[in-house]
Amino acid sequence: MSRIGKQPISIPSGVDVSFENNVLKFKKGNSVKELDTKGNVEVKIENNEVVFSSKGDDRQSRAYWGTYRALTNNIIIGLTQGFTRQLEINGVGYKAAVKGKILELALGFSHLVNYELPEGIEATVERNVITLKGNDKQVIGQAAAQIRGFRPPEPYKGKGVKYLEERIIRKAGKTSKK
């Protein structure tokens, strides 16, 4: 039994939810999101809540049940509050700048790294912290992972791009022979 799948999701005011042909549609203002359930779960919209139920008793059906409930909750949170992810740049001469839809990174290479931001994501840079904002949790996470992948933090000096809440476990350097 899915503990997450059992919980109903309340629909906040201003968000319209409809379910047709195995597709959940969410609308707030001029933002529209769709989630295709592919017929793997049963969805009911009643009393200003979205309720999911499993189609079968096998393990796969229960997995879909919790997954689609979590994806729906992320879409509703994204439309109402939005998501943010922060990255920190550490290193001498490492810096970032936003130029339109391009994030320009100087990460110690002989060239600048230009990262084109995906649709629906805004980036801001304050000193050495890059903040990504948007309403799609998956796209924000993927963009942050790609930016971090340009120069992952190294364990000796801690230089590189890391998530703000990430803690780098430092290693001791070489010791001289006495």
Reported as a single tens digit per residue, the pLDDT across 54-71 is 888 888 888 898 899 999
In the chain the first and final C-alpha atoms are separated, in Å, by 63
Q: Which pLDDT value is given to residue 178? A: 63
Parse the chain into domains and list their residue ranges: 7-79, 82-161
Q: If you ran DSSP here, which 8-state letter would residue 154 be given?
A: P
Same fold, 7-79 and 82-161: yes
Regions of the chain where pLDDT drops below 50: none
> Could you give the 3-state DSSP secondary structure of residue 48?
coil
Nearest to 119 by CA among 37, 11, 36, 33: 33
Q: Which pLDDT value is given to residue 60? A: 86
Nearest to 121 by CA among 106, 111, 136: 136
Q: Which pLDDT value is given to residue 145? A: 97
Look up the CATH number of domain 7-79. Answer: 3.90.930.12
The C-alpha atoms of residue 93 and residue 32 are separated, in whole angstroms, by 41
CATH topology of domain 82-161: Outer Surface Protein A; domain 3 (3.90.930)
The C-alpha atoms of residue 113 and residue 116 are separated, in whole angstroms, by 10
